[in-house]
Structure formats: C-alpha cells, structure tokens
Amino acid sequence: MQSVQKVLMVVAVLGAGAGVGSALFALVTPGELQKQEMLKEMPEQDPRRRDEGKRNQQLVMATLQEAAATQENVAWRKNWLVGGGGSGGKSA
C-alpha cells in the first residue's frame, strides 16, 4: 500500500512540475504582434544589410572560383578585393 502511495505522490509532484513549467513557458513566449515586431527589427530585414550580405557572398564566391583556377595560395593575400598578381606567398 505504501508503494502505491509513493508512486501516486511522485506522479503528482512530476505532474505539478510539468504544469508549472508549461504555464511559465506560455507566459514568457511572445504573442503574435510581438513576433511581427521582432521580425521587423531583425538585421536581415534591413535592405542595406541584405545588400552588404550579398556583396560579401559575391566576394567569397569570386575568391573561391579564383582559388580553384590558380595555383596561388589565396589565403596569404593581403588585400582580398584585388585579384591575382599578388606576391603569392608570405612576405619576408
């Protein structure tokens, strides 16, 4: 009889803990209007930030394509905006 009582007590305590956790989660999650406002404020929504990201991606892709086409170690390049013709290695 005592073991059944202990099992019921453990189930009740775990259920209460899960209930409190669920209630707290429901209280702290933002509502739909707050989600929309947060999405508007994200940096990716700014047109200048998107253009900067596109430009950065274009530079990385151009560098990768150039690295694939040449034997030069482009990782040692001082100025990444300038194409090949660099020193090609460490400068002493």
Phi, psi of 13 (to 5 degrees): -65, -45
pLDDT attached to residue 9: 94
Give the pLDDT band of residue 81 (cuts 50, 70, 90): low
Query: Measuring CA to CA, how many Å separate 74 from each of 25, 55, 79, 87?
Result: 50, 19, 10, 10
User: Can you read off the two tokens belonging to residue 51?
Assistant: 């253009």
How far is the first Cα of the chain from the last one, in angstroms, to the nearest whole number?
84
pLDDT attached to residue 83: 61
pLDDT in tens, 69-78: 888 777 777 7
User: Can you read off the two tokens belonging to residue 61?
Assistant: 């892709």
Query: Would you say residue 57 has pLDDT above 90?
Result: yes
